[in-house]
Chains A and B, each alone.
Chain A
């Protein structure tokens, strides 16, 4: 007889708790602000049929904020915010190559390069051991914006600074840019570029 009373109670408990959504899914876990520090950097590596080049922006001269929103789902985390890089800040360690890259990227018409963060594939653990994650970004060069999946390595050091290393291969042609060619095409720049960026981030809850 006692069991007969327990059974409806159990059924009631199960049916009630089955509609409970984890707090994290309900958006109650909150958003975090990631402040991109000034010592962040970006590097573009490319090649021609005669040499290789590496152009860098070694010191990011602004402080931008990214917003990490954990509410979406475990599978995808919204990361919003944009970093704006001045094309003039590129240094190819050779004044002529630097000027050539600026000309190719149409610096006079479009002086800024924009990276807009969209999402991460998962919530990073933020440990000292590097963690590989992916995310979506929009890269805008010379007025053309294109969405890419970027591979990240993310770590957090003892000073609680997050190091986000992103890498992605892009093509000049993705942005309707023509790779430079000299001497009637005898010296040709390859279409493919490898973009690596390193963001040093501080978290604000």
Chain B
């Protein structure tokens, strides 16, 4: 009776820890990358001066929490389906990233572009950004929770 509970808690701890580690790495890489991209390619971001995007700063905390939200969700997804991703670490990470992007990102980007006043460039950049995040998270999970 105790053993399954212990095993479940151990598993949850593993998911949580690997999710938090991936979250910290994604936080640095995602927002660091975004900061550099805005600095060196400002023209790509002029379209964000749009009322569609929150402008009064009251949701900044939620914006910066995104790296941890996606990492924890992907950590659970990895733990549940990691048996399906076979091969060396890099291949597992890449496949995980592509699977997430096709299943979750592509339909969301599709509906976003069809319903919101946003450009193709924006949607493509979001897709690439999400794909990059999922590949990095996949590599981290393949390393610490194989």
Contact = CB atoms under 8 A, between A and B. Distances in A.
A184 B49 contact: no
B55 A97 contact: no
Nearest to B37: A186
B87 interface: no
Interface string A172-192: 000000101111111101000
A100 interface: yes
Report, as a range, how many residues of chain B touch the other chain: 20 to 34
Interface in B82-128: 117
A36 B35 CA distance: 47
B9 interface: no
A7 interface: no
Report, as a range, how many residues of chain A touch the other chain: 20 to 34
A126 B140 CA distance: 75
B49 A180 contact: yes
Residue from the set A50, A94, A181 with the largest chain B CB neighbour count within 10 Å: A50
Q: Chain A interface mostly helix, strand, loop or mixed?
A: mixed
Interface in B2-40: 31, 34-35, 38
Contact of A184 (B43, B60, B117): B60
B35 A187 contact: no
B50 A50 contact: no
A183 B34 contact: yes
B48 interface: yes
Contact of A185 (B43, B49, B57): B57
A50 B47 contact: no
B55 A181 contact: yes
Given A48-B49, A50-B46, A183 B63 contact: yes
Contacts of A104: 55
A184 B56 CA distance: 9
A51 B50 CA distance: 13
Interface in A141-199: 178, 180-187, 189
23 contacts: A50-B38, A50-B42, A51-B42, A51-B46, A51-B49, A53-B49, A94-B46, A96-B50, A96-B117, A100-B51, A100-B55, A102-B51, A104-B55, A178-B55, A180-B56, A181-B56, A181-B57, A182-B48, A182-B54, A183-B38, A183-B45, A183-B63, A185-B57
Interface of B: 31, 34-35, 38, 42-43, 45-57, 60, 63-64, 117
Interface of A: 48-51, 53, 94, 96-97, 99-100, 102-104, 178, 180-187, 189
